């Protein structure tokens, strides 16, 4: 049974912009349905033209690109509130794949309605562009991390970034969050080998900076991790939700 936008549990979170009554009504009719997928399901496939666009309501996933010989670059961890698939709607093809890492619920939009959104609801079009800019910004950060930071710095960066994101979404309880990924996923996100990722994680664990086992992640000392990562401590602004 689909959730009405009116009752969207994400909408209530303080990290998201408020919606006007008008916008809310528009979104309700813009939303074409809901999709439930099991862990492991591919949601978007690189190079395809998906007729659908999604907002993540629940669960987590992986966004990645692959080379012909099988090497894989994870470009982001997908979390609730993320808007995925717009590339396919605006250009002809999509440049990345998304797989579900846990069971997920997705809010579905028709790509053919995008144009209507731009014409009829400029404020929502603006918000959509905001989200793409935001993703662009993140990829710039990730590129800088993989290009310039050492293995220890990369992992510290990833953990603080992921944790902060989850924290915004109210997914951290008593300092612990669900982190349903494999070490191989983290390695592929940071351009490191699995073995070295494992050994570097062990170092952070020995120093008692974090714990991660059985899919549960806890930052024991976020401040130290932040410093290792040379990450500045700015509160992210409120963001739009589509």
Partner DNA sequence: CGCCCGATTGAACTCACTCAAATACTGTGG
Partner DNA sequence: CCACAGTATTTGAGTGAGTTCAATCGGGCG
Judged by the rule CB under 8 A, the positions of this chain that interact with a copy of itself are 65, 67-69, 71-73, 75, 86-87, 90-92, 95-96, 115, 118-119, 122-123, 125-126, 128-130, 132-137, 139-144, 146-149, 188-191, 230, 232, 237
**What is the DSSP pairing of strand 72-78 with strand 83-84?**
unpaired
Letter string b/e over residues 81-113, b meaning 16 or more CB atoms within 10 A of that residue's CB: bbbbbbbbbeeeebebbbbbbbebbbbbbebeb
Residue 149 C-beta: closest distance to DNA, Å: 8
Residue 111 C-beta: closest distance to DNA, Å: 32
DSSP H helical ranges for 169-238: 183-190, 194-206, 222-228
| Residue nearer to a copy of itself on the CB measure, 3 or 146 | 146
Q: Which does 151 bind (CB under 5 to 8 A by kind): DNA, a copy of itself, none?
A: DNA
Query: Which of left, alpha, beta for 190 (phi over 0: left; psi -120 to 50: alpha)?
Result: alpha
d(CA 54, CA 4): 15
| Residue nearer to a copy of itself on the CB measure, 105 or 197 | 197
Q: Which does 37 bind (CB under 5 to 8 A by kind): DNA, a copy of itself, none?
A: none
- Cα-flanking dihedrals φ and ψ of residue 189, to 5°? -75, -30
| Residue nearer to DNA on the CB measure, 70 or 237 | 70
Residue 46 C-beta: closest distance to a copy of itself, Å: 10
d(CA 179, CA 56): 16
Both tokens assigned to 182: 């494999």
| Residue nearer to a copy of itself on the CB measure, 9 or 51 | 51
d(CA 165, CA 161): 6
Residue 97 C-beta: closest distance to a copy of itself, Å: 11
Q: Which does 122 bind (CB under 5 to 8 A by kind): a copy of itself, DNA, none?
A: a copy of itself
Residue 50 near residue 88 (C-beta atoms within 8 A): yes
Q: Interface with DNA by CB under 7 A: which residues?
A: 150-152, 182-184, 191-202, 213
Residue 205 C-beta: closest distance to a copy of itself, Å: 24
- Cα-flanking dihedrals φ and ψ of residue 36, to 5°? -110, 130
Q: Which does 123 bind (CB under 5 to 8 A by kind): DNA, a copy of itself, none?
A: a copy of itself
Measured from the Cβ of residue 190, the count of other Cβ atoms closer than 10 Å reads 23
| Residue nearer to a copy of itself on the CB measure, 14 or 237 | 237
């Amino acid at each position: 049974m689909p959730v009405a936008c009116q009752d969207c549990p994400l909408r209530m979170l303080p990290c998201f912009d408020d919606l006007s009554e008008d916008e809310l009504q528009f979104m309700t009719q813009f939303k074409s349905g809901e999709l439930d997928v099991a862990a492991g399901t591919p949601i978007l496939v690189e190079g395809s033209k998906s007729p659908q666009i999604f907002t993540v309501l629940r669960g987590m996933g992986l966004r990645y690109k692959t080379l012909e010989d099988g090497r894989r670059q994870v470009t982001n961890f997908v979390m609730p509130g993320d808007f995925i698939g717009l590339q396919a709607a605006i250009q002809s093809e999509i440049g990345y794949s998304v797989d579900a890492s846990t069971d997920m619920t997705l809010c579905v939009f028709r790509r053919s309605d995008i144009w209507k959104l731009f014409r009829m609801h400029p404020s929502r079009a603006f918000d959509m562009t905001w989200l793409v800019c935001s993703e662009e910004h993140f990829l710039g950060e990730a590129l800088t991390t993989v290009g310039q930071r050492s293995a220890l710095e990369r992992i510290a960066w990833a953990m603080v970034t992921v944790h902060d994101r989850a924290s915004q979404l109210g997914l951290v309880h008593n300092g612990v969050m669900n982190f349903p990924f494999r070490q191989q996923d983290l390695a592929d996100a940071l351009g490191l080998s699995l073995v070295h990722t494992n050994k570097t994680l062990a170092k952070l664990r020995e120093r008692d900076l974090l714990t991660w086992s059985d899919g549960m992640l806890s930052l024991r000392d976020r401040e130290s991790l932040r410093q290792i990562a040379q990450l500045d401590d700015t509160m992210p602004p409120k963001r739009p939700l589509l």
